[in-house]
Amino acid sequence: MDNAVRISAAAMMVREQQHEMTAQNSSNIDTDYYKSNELFYVNTEDDTPEAASTTDLSGGALRTTSNPLDVVLGKKYFMKAADDEGNIYYIKDGRLSLNSSGELTFNGMKILNTSGTSIKVQSLSDFKITQTGECMENNAVVDKIDIVQAGSQAKVTPRADGTFTINDAGVEAPSGYALITQGMREGSNVNRVNEMIKMVNTLNSYESNQKLIQANDDAVSKAITEFGKF
Amino acid sequence: MRALWISGSGMAAEEQKLDLIANNMANLNTVGFKFQDAYVQEMSQVDDDGRNVQVNPAGTTVSSITRNFTQGNIQSTGNSLDVAINGDGFFEVTMPDETTGYTRSGQFSLDANGTLVTANGNKVYPEVTVSSDTSSVAINANGQITATKNDGTTQVIGSLELAKFINPGGLTDDGQGVFKPSANSGDPVVDSPGKQGLGTLQQGYTEGSNVDLASEMLKMMLTQRSYEMNTKVLQTTDQMMSLANGIKR
């Protein structure tokens, strides 16, 4: 009996965690470049389930902003960026900006060119980025963004600041156009219907597990009262 | 339950976005106004034990508010002291505290001494004074100001300069359409209009705001629906908490 209660209680806690992820996706339904996460459970050696998450890297809806520093990359493509300490991160968030020295940055991290240094922009009014990541000013190629693709061996891990890390074996040279669209932004890829359905399912499952605990409680109290009668 | 705070953060972010939309729409007809947008980021903490990765949700946040400096529509006013910038750059103005401010709003007028001032009464830099015996003032595309006297003679009385920044998004807002440089904006590059990629001037015109009513309306609808979705999550969380309490009858 005790075991049945424990199982139902564990199921309720799992549903709570899944609901948190739904809340996260829902609160970011309007966050540009947000990639939705899904929670799943893996069995560990000692048979206790452990939570893990996967990030859906597919694209969201595109919208025009006419800002030359807004770019969108294809699903498997990433731009390379470096923080002040020189650590390399991969980014899909195309809300780029310039710093006070005119370098292309994302959240303070410098976007790297194919030689591994920062990219300087002289004037934004005629700044263009081509589909392969070449940066053009006055219709002449001046630099090239280092774009990589996540290959079949890739393990793409999200980081808290919206960047990603990719294992070395998974980083490949882009096989085609990186599909950079300039002057556009990508919305979040959260699917409203999916999240609502998940929420309904979560609530139903939560409720049935609650009922199971109550039924168990009923059975126990019945056992106590009925068996006591002669 | 954490979900409560997560959807709460989503609702707070939507409210902040709605504030910006309201401000943009209120300034639909403000000369030289540049619309603002919320820069929204997810908040989370990521556990990676080498085998499994788990994103621990923490909601969303408006991490900064960005201003979009795209060109507004140039509108004819027929007023000879209205000047629009066509292209990149800001007019320089001397603020009451003697610092330099930067503005796109070129609705100039003359003060009691005949000095060129902005609509807020701040002097345009470099200072230009129009004497009382002037019948008309002409400002050309490169900023040169020529006065025609009552007796028909003409005289160059000064010229307007423009300043540009490598990262105008980093300028700080000083209110009333005036911006101040910051560590993020870089130093101003000052020259005559038309030089070094600076825009040119158009006398008798003003630059309207760059607010797009249709896109603000769309943003408003999205904001409302996103807010609604967060409230649904909140309701569900509440129901779950009630169910948890209901275990013990």
Task: State the total domains in chain B.
Answer: 2
Mutate to test the interface with A, among B226, B239, B242 (most CBs of A within 10 A): B226
| Encoded tokens for B231 | 């409230």
Task: Check: CB of residue A34 under 8 Å from CB of residue A189.
Answer: yes
Task: Check: CB of residue B6 under 8 Å from CB of residue A24.
Answer: yes
Task: Check: CB of residue A159 under 8 Å from CB of residue A55.
Answer: no
Q: Domain of residue B127: give its range.
A: 74-207
Domain-located, residue A122: yes
* Cα-based angle B220, A70, A183 (whole degrees, multiple of 5): 85
Distance from the Cα of B1 to chain A's closest Cα (Å) equals 8
* Nearest-angstrom CA–CA distance, A180 and A191: 23
Whether residues B109 and B165 fall in one domain: yes
| Closest Cβ–Cβ partner in B53, B59, B68 for A53 | B53
Whether residues B190 and B78 fall in one domain: yes
Task: State the total domains in chain A.
Answer: 2
* Nearest-angstrom CA–CA distance, B22 and B6: 25
Domain-located, residue A224: no
Whether residues A130 and A76 fall in one domain: yes
A162 touches chain B (CB under 8 A): yes
Averaged pLDDT, A64-75:
90
Find the closest chain A residue to B199 by CA distance: A125
What is the residue-level pLDDT of chain B in tens, covering all 249 positions?
Answer: 889 999 999 999 999 999 999 999 999 999 999 999 999 999 999 988 877 888 999 999 999 999 999 999 999 999 999 999 999 999 999 999 999 999 999 999 999 999 999 999 999 999 999 998 999 999 999 999 999 999 999 999 999 999 999 888 889 999 889 999 998 888 999 999 999 889 999 999 999 999 999 999 999 999 999 999 999 999 999 999 999 999 988
Residue B127 CA from chain centroid, whole number: 25
Whether residues A73 and A48 fall in one domain: no
User: In this structure, is the dihedral angle defined by the CA atoms of residues B126, B129, B134 and B135, taken in order, positive or negative?
Assistant: positive
Whether residues A82 and A102 fall in one domain: yes
Per-chain mean pLDDT for chain A: 90
Task: Check: CB of residue A31 under 8 Å from CB of residue A61.
Answer: no
pLDDT score, position A47: 61
Residue A19, phi then psi, degrees to nearest 5:
-65, -35
> A48 falls in which pLDDT band (50, 70, 90)?
low
Whether residues A115 and A27 fall in one domain: no
Domain-located, residue A229: no
Whether residues B192 and B236 fall in one domain: no
* Nearest-angstrom CA–CA distance, A34 and A22: 13
Whether residues B80 and B32 fall in one domain: no
Residue A184, phi then psi, degrees to nearest 5:
-130, 155
Averaged pLDDT, A29-38:
94
pLDDT score, position A226: 86
Judge whether residue A46 has pLDDT over 80.
Answer: no
| Encoded tokens for A224 | 């106590």
Residue A194, phi then psi, degrees to nearest 5:
-55, -45
Q: What is the 3-state secondary structure (H, E, C) of B173-233?
A: ECCCCEEECCCCCCCCEEECCCCCCCCEEEECEEECCCCCHHHHHHHHHHHHHHHHHHHHH
pLDDT score, position B209: 95
Whether residues B61 and B127 fall in one domain: no
Whether residues A88 and A12 fall in one domain: no
Whether residues B64 and B84 fall in one domain: no
Helix (H) or strand (E) holding B23: helix B2-26
* Nearest-angstrom CA–CA distance, A54 and A47: 21
A157 touches chain B (CB under 8 A): yes
Give the tens place of pLDDT for each residue, A142-174: 999 999 999 988 889 998 888 999 999 999 998
Domain-located, residue A226: no
Question: Could you give the percent of chain A with pLDDT greater than 90?
Answer: 66
Whether residues B41 and B154 fall in one domain: no
* Whole-prediction pTM: 0.88
Whether residues B188 and B221 fall in one domain: no
The partner residues of A89 in beta bridges, in order of sequence, read A81
Whether residues B142 and B201 fall in one domain: yes
What's the complex ipTM?
0.86
Whether residues A173 and A200 fall in one domain: no
pLDDT score, position B91: 96
Q: Domain of residue A153: give its range.
A: 62-186
pLDDT score, position B240: 96
Give the tens place of pLDDT for each residue, B10-57: 999 999 999 999 999 999 999 999 999 999 999 999 988 877 888 999
Amino acid present at A159: R
Whether residues A178 and A127 fall in one domain: yes
| 3-state SS class at B88 | coil
Give the tens place of pLDDT for each residue, A100-116: 888 999 998 999 999 99
Give the Cβ contact number of residue B213 at 10 Å. 10
Whether residues A19 and A111 fall in one domain: no
Mutate to test the interface with A, among B37, B48, B53 (most CBs of A within 10 A): B53
Residues sharing a CB contact under 8 Å with residue B244, sequence separation 6 or more, in sequence order: A12, A210
pLDDT score, position A230: 61
Task: Give me the DSSP letters along chain A.
Answer: -HHHHHHHHHHHHHHHHHHHHHHHHHHTTTSTT---EEEEEEE-TTS-EEEEEEE------EEE---TTBEE--TTEEEEEE-TT--EEEE---B-EE-TT-BEEETTEEEBBTTSSB-B-S-GGGEEE-TT-EEEETTEEEEEB-EEEE-TT--EEE-TTS-EEE-GGGEE--SS----EETEEE-----HHHHHHHHHHHHHHHHHHHHHHHHHHHHHHHHHHHHT--
Using the structure block, give the residue that is written with the tokens 């009630």. Answer: B242
Whether residues B185 and B95 fall in one domain: yes
Q: Do A23 and B197 touch (CB under 8 A)?
A: no
Whether residues A74 and A96 fall in one domain: yes
Whether residues B105 and B179 fall in one domain: yes
Domain-located, residue A172: yes
Residues sharing a CB contact under 8 Å with residue B183, sequence separation 6 or more, in sequence order: A100, B170
User: How many Cα atoms occupy the beta-carbon half-sphere of A184 within 13 Å?
Assistant: 14
pLDDT score, position A79: 95
Chain A residues near residue B249 by CB distance under 8 angstroms: 214, 217
Amino acid present at B192: S
Averaged pLDDT, A55-73:
91
Give the tens place of pLDDT for each residue, A171-199: 999 888 887 789 999 999 999 999 999 99
Give the Cβ contact number of residue B23 at 10 Å. 14
User: In this structure, is the dihedral angle defined by the CA atoms of residues B228, B231, B235 and B236, taken in order, positive or negative?
Assistant: positive
Q: Do A50 and B60 touch (CB under 8 A)?
A: no
Residues sharing a CB contact under 8 Å with residue B115, sequence separation 6 or more, in sequence order: B123, B127, B128, B129, B130
Give the tens place of pLDDT for each residue, A79-91: 999 999 999 999 9
Mutate to test the interface with B, among A13, A15, A24 (most CBs of B within 10 A): A24
Helix (H) or strand (E) holding B24: helix B2-26
Task: Give me the DSSP letters along A50-117.
Answer: EEEEEE------EEE---TTBEE--TTEEEEEE-TT--EEEE---B-EE-TT-BEEETTEEEBBTTSS
Using the structure block, give the residue that is written with the tokens 């393990």. Answer: A155
Question: Could you give the percent of chain B with pLDDT greater than 70?
Answer: 100
Whether residues A13 and A119 fall in one domain: no
| Encoded tokens for A17 | 């965690």
| Encoded tokens for B125 | 């830099």
Whether residues A82 and A170 fall in one domain: yes
Whether residues B85 and B173 fall in one domain: yes
